[in-house]
Amino acid sequence: MAVQTVFKRYELKFLLTEEQKARLLPEIEKHMSLDKYGRTLIKNLYFDTDTYRLIRRSLEKPAYKEKLRIRSYGNTNPDSTVFVELKKKYNGVVYKRRIPMEEQAAMAWLQGRGNAPESQIAEEIRYFAGYYETLHPTVFLSYEREAYFCREGSDLRLTFDDNILCRQEALSLCAENYGTPLLAPGQVLMEVKCPGGIPLWLTSLLSREKLYKTSFSKYGTAYQTMIFSKRKENVTNV
């Protein structure tokens, strides 16, 4: 099966309760189906500079921002296939380019101890890493996802993420899954991913439930929760 490596779409985010999700699902399932993976554990390892330049820039909400991560699906070992992903956002449009690699090879490559198969995307990631120079793993972030696809032939996707956890120790996708929760108990992050406008039935559903899009970056929230507070405390104590 061909692996999708290039994405261009809008990503709209909504924070809702489990009760709201339960009310939405019957209407969503009239048009969409749960993908073949069902409920999936997704693990991410974010790379940043010594000064957290990437995430600090992102939190300023510029017109253009970018980030680099390695992502895995399900439990992972050194031989598992993971994805090295370069994600950019410009004027509200998300561009994601990724390459599949074995976990141990991906980690070695991004830390200057190996190579990736030659491709245009690999060259872009190589340039990105060289430009920022001190990139290294900074945050492990995981969550459980339910993803829905549209049965009506469009590229619309809808995902529900919960149990979002982050940590700054054991920075490996192969390590045990644990960390600090980023959502309040009973909260769910819903994302609508689409190449253009969302369909009328979904617009009406969101309006009926009084759900409004929000700005929620998982890595950004992890930085503010774990890292910024510590950096601020260290400055205060100097």
Total domains present in the chain: 1
Is position 144 within any domain?
yes
Range of the domain at 177: 6-237
Residue 216 lies in a domain: yes
Report the b/e string of 38-54 with b at 16+ CB within 10 A: eeeebbbbbbbeeebeb
* Amino acid 232: pLDDT: 54
What pLDDT does residue 187 have?
97
Q: CATH number, domain at 37?
A: 3.20.100.30
Q: Does residue 69 lie in a domain region?
A: yes
pTM across the whole model: 0.93
Q: What is the DSSP letter of 197?
A: P
1 in any annotated domain: no
Residue 100 domain-assigned?
yes
Are 37 and 49 a contacting pair, CB within 8 Å? no
- Does the pLDDT at position 76 exceed 70? yes
Q: Is residue 106 part of a domain?
A: yes
Q: What mean pLDDT do residues 211-229 have?
A: 92
Helices (H), the chain: 18-28, 53-59, 103-110, 120-132, 200-208, 218-222, 229-237
Tens digit of each residue's pLDDT (9 = 90 or more) over 188-216: 999 999 998 899 999 999 999 999 999 99
Q: Provide the mean pLDDT of the chain.
A: 93
Q: Are 71 and 44 in contact (CB under 8 A)?
A: yes
148-163 mean pLDDT: 93
Which pLDDT belongs to residue 228? Answer: 79
